Amino acid sequence: MSDATQPVMRRRILMVDDHPIVREGMAKFLNLQDDLHLCCEAGSAQEALAMLQECNPDLAIVDMTLRGDSGLELVKAFRHRHPQLAILVMSMHDEGLFAERALRAGANGYLMKLEATAHILAAIRQVLAGNIYLSETMHNRIAQRLLAPGKTANGPIASLTEREFEVLHLIGLGFGTRQIAEKLSRSIKTIEAHRANLKEKLNLPHGPDLVRFAVQWLDRD
């Protein structure tokens, strides 16, 4: 007897994003696919880690910047707790700055939200198949870097923690200490401590030097 009528097994997906409207839209879109099912949603890292045990997903789609949490730290936690889980980072942040760092944290792919409509299904299916997903532009950047082994991906920022990396990125975009504290749901004192750590690690003596470095770093990449 032919098995052509047997239903396709739908792969289970966990969506982690702190914007409910994004999660709702993704649920409607993915659940229209014959082979995919968004089985659970989370708005924070804590919720996501609890859902990981409850839903047992095949794939987690993680926003890079969660309110009060680091998406990269969540990727690391996912990878540690569930080594076989496929992880796709979907973010508004420039892939030139964050894609490689996401892969080093344990993600299997990186997709910018500006491209999500056209490429989200391809990215999901490629990652679920056990492959790495990056845009063609990012693939080319990495290939060029491999041809020039003396050039490192992040230079002097390679030793930064994920939170320090996020703070440096926001400084480069022109945000002040108070604005960064609000965006990351942290106290001003905490952000000031991150700025102090950045100056020490990057060997920058003064605040304006840090701002100049951050702006030039973003322009360079």
Res 8 pLDDT > 90: no
Q: Do domains 11-144 and 155-220 have the same CATH topology?
A: no
Q: What is the pLDDT of residue 97?
A: 74
Q: Domain 155-220 is of which CATH architecture?
A: Orthogonal Bundle (1.10)
Predicted confidence band of residue 207 (pLDDT cuts 50, 70, 90): confident
Block residue for tokens 């919720």:
47
State which amino acid sits at residue 32.
L
Classify domain 11-144 at the CATH superfamily level.
Answer: Response regulator (3.40.50.2300)
> In this predicted structure, which of 114-118, 162-166, 179-183 has the lowest mean pLDDT?
114-118
Average pLDDT (76-103) is 86
Q: How far apart are CA 180 and CA 168, in angstroms?
A: 10
CB 54 within 8 A of CB 66: no
For the cut 80, the answer to whether the pLDDT of residue 82 exceeds it is yes
| Average of per-residue pLDDT values in the chain | 83
β-bridge pairing 69-70 and 65-66: antiparallel
**Which helix (H) or strand (E) covers residue 143, if one does?**
helix 136-146
**pLDDT one-digit tens code per residue, 133-172:** 988 877 777 666 555 555 455 566 777 887 888 888 888 8
The whole model's pTM is what?
Answer: 0.72
Nearest residue to 63 (alpha-carbon basis) of 28, 34, 32, 21 = 21
Task: State how far the Cα of 66 lies from the Cα of 72, in Å rounded to an integer.
Answer: 10
Percentage of residues in the chain with pLDDT exceeding 70?
86
H helix or E strand, kind and range, residue 36: strand 36-42
| Domain-wise residue ranges, the chain | 11-144, 155-220
Residue 70 or 56, more confident: 56
Residue type, 38: L
* Order of strands, sheet of 59-63, starting from the edge strand that comes earlier in the sequence: 36-42, 11-16, 59-63, 86-91, 109-112
Stretch 197-216: mean pLDDT, rounded? Answer: 87
Residues 193-202 have a mean pLDDT of 90
Strand partners, 63: 90
Measured in whole angstroms, how far is the alpha carbon of residue 189 from the centre of its chain? 25
